A and B are shown apart, each in its own frame.
Chain A
Amino acid sequence: MLEIEGASINYGPVSAVRNVSLTVEKGEIVALLGPNGAGKTSLLSAAMGLRPLAAGSIRFKGEDLRKLDTETRVRRGLTLTPEGRKVFANLTVLENLELGAATRKKGAEIHHDMEMCFELFPILAERRHQTGGSLSGGEQQMLAIARSLMSRPSLLMLDEPSLGLAPRIVQQIFRLIRDLRGRDLTILLVEQNAHEVLRFADRAYVLSTGECRYAGPASRLHDKDALMQAYIGELVA
């Protein structure tokens, strides 16, 4: 569904990502792991067209994305729940969801999807008239995910959904991400919380200082040593 090949991303003279290839197949949950500053967020930004690629290609459902702007990529079914949630703090929960459906026209379907979001996240239904800024961190993360779902994406990219949340809330968010797979949704998940994510991801990539250190089944990283080695260096096996 998503094919990134040989991607390199630069910030001025600084190279953030070098020659990284990554694919996501329909129906998968793919984890993109790695320490801070590894280039995970840069890679997602490039997939959304917020960052230019210095080299390499990105295809989505077979279509070359490089010529399409961010707004058009959303219309093609790609969506990103950004790092730090980026809920519109001055808008109500309902207004946030309404903007999430910005690419869609049919009012009845949008309304139906909002009700679906409220079923998934009952707390949002209670808070529907509150502003995004008045929600707790966990509620904001739920709102950010619900807002992404409102565009009816086929691939949902989540950037650090557990960032800054209490462990109990993190469990709740991860459970929800697992449930979303059953809804005909493909997920690319960026996380620092590697152990948790590897339990339910199908495949994993480990990025470190801009380079791909591991690509393969998530199960192979269940072993602590293997994960450690993927993070910090070559396998000595």
Chain B
Amino acid sequence: MEYLIEQALNGFSIGAQYSLLALGLAIVFSVMGLVNFAHGEFIGVAGYAMFAMAAMGMTNPWLLVLFAVVTVVLAALVIERIAFRSVRDAPPTTGLLTAFGVGIVLQNLFLLLVSPRPKAVPALSALNQTVDVWGHNFTILQFLEVGVTAVAIGALVWFLRGTRIGLAMRAAALDFTTVRLMGMRANRVIAFAFAISGLLASIAAIFFIARRGAIDPFMGLLPVLKAFVACVLGGFGSLPGAVIGGLLLGFIEVMLIVLLPDKLAGLRDASVFLIVGAILVFRPQGILGKRVELGDKTA
């Protein structure tokens, strides 16, 4: 029982990371119909930003975290401006290829400017200390992951419901042309979508880096795939779907860690995708997916 409770929180905290990443993918997709596969590289940007500042002698973990978040948001805005804006009206495959291109460029920048080998980023390792709560062993990080993710999602909901640009983003998910007819600037709406996706990715990145304690140029590849799967699972383009898909994926993963014997540990990711595939056989549109969210896209 004790083990079960600990693993449940573990599933929540890993799922929370996937949810944050999946939300970022879903926001950009819903506004401009782009699956941004360079999204995973935001994790790399956060990691190398922290690594660079630590190498220059900054030791305060709060400042490192702040620096990483700001850098990722700025990077997201710059990437939108120089890479995605020029192909905005092109066919969707052009956007997809551009995203892959941006990802490869960033990976190789990390590789050339720093090193192809993993580098240690130990600044946040203290978060892995275990604390005793009513006889259960948890890490501080797990609580932070669940708590910060909940706050971030709450803030996002407020933003989408309570601000004009948030309203425009929700409206743009259905019909961007009519949003422009209201006089709402398309560039601003899309820049906000990228900034938010970068912000959410940077939060996920910080947790990811705190867990691993190390960074490497290709660290974003697997997480972006998982986030993509979470989106598909929840229903592509649906924001609540991205959250639910991410949490479900986290739970399935942790469940398999618990259930699969050590001998079969190598089949873990394959089994995860097998289960996801089985769910999609019964709900091809995803858990919360609706046809309207994908259709009627005019811009």
Contacts and interface: CB of A to CB of B under 8 A. Distances in A.
B183 interface: yes
A71 interface: yes
Interface string A117-156: 0000000000000000000000000000001000100000
B183 A90 contact: no
B181 A98 contact: no
A106 to B, nearest CB: 13
A5 interface: no
A185 interface: no
Given A71-B180, A74-B183, A90 B168 contact: no
Interface stretch (B115-123, B169-177, B254-262, B265-273): B169-177
B288 to A, nearest CB: 13
B130 interface: no
A99 interface: yes
A231 interface: no
B201 interface: no
Contacts of B171: 88, 90-91, 99
Contacts of A79: 181
Nearest to B175: A86
Contacts of B174: 88-90
Interface residues of B, number: 19
Contact of A102 (B175, B177, B183, B292): B183
Chain B contact residues: helix, strand, loop or mixed? helix
B167 A82 contact: no
B10 to A, nearest CB: 35
Nearest to A49: B180
Chain A contact residues: helix, strand, loop or mixed? mixed
Interface in B152-183: 164, 167-168, 170-171, 173-175, 177-183
Given A90-B173, A91-B167, A95-B167, A102 B178 contact: no
B184 interface: yes
A186 B170 CA distance: 31
A100 interface: yes
Contacts of B179: 99
Nearest to B187: A71
A110 to B, nearest CB: 10
Contacts of B177: 50, 82, 86
A75 interface: yes
The residue among B164, B173, B182, B292 with the most chain A CB atoms within 10 A of its own CB is B182
B175 A71 contact: no
A99 B168 contact: yes
B170 A71 contact: no
A50 B164 CA distance: 22
B180 A98 contact: no
Contacts of B182: 74, 99-100, 102-103, 147, 151
Contacts of B184: 71, 99, 102
A99 B184 CA distance: 8
Interface in A97-118: 98-100, 102-103
B191 interface: no
Interface string A38-72: 00000000001010000000000000000000110
A98 B170 CA distance: 13
B186 interface: yes
A17 interface: no
B185 interface: yes
B181 A70 contact: yes
A75 B183 contact: yes
A77 B18 CA distance: 45
A79 B171 CA distance: 18
Contacts of B168: 99, 102
Interface of A: 48, 50, 70-71, 74-75, 79-80, 82, 86, 88-91, 95, 98-100, 102-103, 147, 151
Given A86-B175, A88-B174, 7 more contacts: A74-B183, A75-B183, A88-B170, A95-B167, A99-B179, A102-B168, A102-B182
7 contacts: A70-B180, A71-B180, A75-B183, A89-B292, A91-B171, A99-B164, A100-B182
6 residue pairs, one from A and one from B, having the closest CB atoms:
A74-B183, A103-B183, A88-B171, A102-B184, A86-B178, A102-B182
